Amino acid sequence: MTIPLRAELSICALPDAEALHHIGLLIDDACERRSGGDTDHAFTLLEELQARPLAPDLASTVHYFRANAWANRRLARAHTEGWAWEQPERQEEILELRRAVRHEGFEQLDRIRQCQVLTNLAGQLSSIGRFIDALELWGRALRLEPRFGMALGNRGLGLSHYARSLYDSRHMSVMLATAHDVLAAAADGVYENPSYAAAKATFQDTRRQIAARFDLEDVHRIDLQNHSLGDSREEQRYRAWCLQQRLFINPLNDLGALPIAACDVLTLPSLTVSEPGVYPPEIVGFFNQMKQEFVSARQLYHEGITATEVHYSDREVRLYNTHDYPAHSLAVEKVRLAFRAAYSLFDKIAFFINHYFAIGLPLRQVSFRSIWFEPRGQRPYPLHPRLTTYENWPLRGLFWLSKDLFEEQFQAVTGPDAAELNDIRNHLEHKYLQVHDPMGMGARTNEPDHLGCRISRPDLDAKTLRILKLARAALIHLSLAVRREERLRARQGDRQGLTAPLPLAVLDDDWKR
């Protein structure tokens, strides 16, 4: 039976899969015709369908279709976006795509559908400046289908944009050469829709531009593999793990587990100062400290998840067995400390932004969610005028990264687990986070009147890794945002009375005591 594309058609008599198929056609047709009314009705039908006890794969697809419907609304006002930082429709689109990916039914979808969802999510994150997260998602799609054309092409574009944000010319050339190779592979990729012809043309035009500007043969001679991972086996295992998890503060680690990236080389770029011969500004030391705290948290986490024996400090520590498989050990505490240290970096980044970008927020009001807004009037608070249309792609990405974290007065989020991460952090800092072996997790649920919040050891490990990845991305965004601002200040130097950028020396490892 062919379903007529009529917005007023009811799905009451249709089986779940057939009803969902109809809604998908309606959303696609509404997009082509720019029909807001049909998109509105599609939302109504999706809510009606979600009220049914759907199979997991259909429930995941519902979130994907809701994201497409939000995309319709976003496209209807795309001419007003430009460099707008707040984009409510895109925010909802990202949230629905993430819900689709996190749903238990996602793995039951066919491979191409999974690639479509992952590629769409990556594209939206890249467009708002979250290029690190986007690259990971495109990589995930390509592991499912290595020739998936839209993932290949968009990954190549994403790498080219990322490369142009870097201040290290060698890193930039390696990343652009990789982008060129990925875009070349996109020419022979598999495209499930003939409407992607314009996208394919964009991919190849970008590839030609890169080839015209760079000696790719010379760049390809750079050895990315033959680099030491350390002297001891323990250090080698640690650095190999960091590479695999993409946890080095090094943009080349976003290209994969390349040994050349096994060092935390990214720092602040050279800074412009108002007077010649002055010492480096305090923010240099501030960034150093945040970077050191991240690296230490990463090491603690690795030690915690790889411990295989009871540490001597845990022996003869008398604890009662609560018969719910409690997890008490130095290894667990290292993971808990890593979570706390990594999460604390976000508010510190906010203080950095408040000072360096002259936001002017009173110090007692500074947090990673609040730093972007003026604390006046009714919620939602207005975006700070310094940032409203500020063309700083890495900084805008940092703004959107902040939406993955939850604060009571800023409840709009793009991460489905934002409230959970915040709850874990609050219990670690102020309350009682009960960590258990998974066998003990069925004893009781988290209720408001319980003294503590319960979490399994594997779940705590996974949440801590997520926070570490977010913190790493935030520090890279911050460095590249400063680089963008420094370039702007250099161009305005004569008018503002600023001198040339101040070069900085590197602290020798032997001085680290």
Rounded Cα distance, 321 and 8, in Å? 62
For residues 339 and 316, what is the distance between their CA atoms, to the nearest angstrom?
27
pLDDT of 474 strictly over 50:
yes
Lowest pLDDT segment from 229-243, 303-317, 414-428: 414-428
Indicate yes or no: pTM above 0.85. yes
- Say how many CA atoms lie within 13 Å of 369 toward its Cβ: 17
Q: Which residue has the tokens 């072996």?
A: 437
Instruction: Give the span between the Cα atoms of 388 and 397, in whole angstroms.
Output: 14
pLDDT tens digit string along 219-274? Answer: 999 999 999 999 999 999 999 999 999 999 999 999 999 999 999 999 998 887 66
Confidence of residue 4 (pLDDT cuts 50, 70, 90): very low
Quick one: pLDDT band at residue 466, thresholds 50, 70, 90?
Answer: very high
Q: Looking at residue 34, what is its pLDDT?
A: 86
Residue 9 exposure: Cα atoms within 13 Å on the Cβ side: 18
Residue 385 banded pLDDT, cuts 50, 70, 90: confident
Whose structure tokens read 């925010």?
91
Measured CA to CA, the distance from residue 479 to residue 266 in angstroms comes to: 8
Q: What is the Cα–Cα distance from 417 to 101, expressed in whole angstroms?
A: 12
Q: Which residue intervals of 165-281 are DSSP H helices? A: 169-186, 197-213, 216-220, 233-245
Q: Compute the distance between CA of residue 192 and CA of residue 184 in angstroms, rounded to an integer.
A: 18
Q: What is the pLDDT of residue 508?
A: 74
Residue 375, pLDDT > 80, answer no
Helix extents (H) in 232-368: 233-245, 282-306, 330-356
Q: Residue 158: how many CB atoms within 10 A of its CB? A: 25
Kindly indicate the confidence band of residue 2, based on its pLDDT and cuts at 50, 70 and 90.
Answer: very low
**The two structure tokens encoding residue 109:** 């979808």
Burial environment of residue 490 by CB neighbours within 10 A (0 to 12, 13 to 18, 19 or more): middle
Structure tokens given for 353: 């932004």
How many angstroms separate the first and last alpha carbons of the chain?
75
- Check pLDDT > 80 for residue 203: yes
Query: Cα–Cα distance between 345 and 339 in angstroms, integer?
Result: 10
> Is there a contact between 392 and 128 (Cβ–Cβ < 8 Å)?
no
What pLDDT, in 10s, does the model give residues 62-77? 999 999 999 999 988 7
pLDDT at 473 over 70: yes
Q: pLDDT category, 81, cuts 50, 70, 90?
A: low
Q: Is residue 204 within 8 Å of residue 196, measured between CB atoms?
A: no
DSSP string, 467-484: HHHHHHHHHHHHHHHHHH
Q: What is the mean pLDDT of residues 354-366?
A: 91
Q: Omega before 380 cis (within 30°)?
A: yes
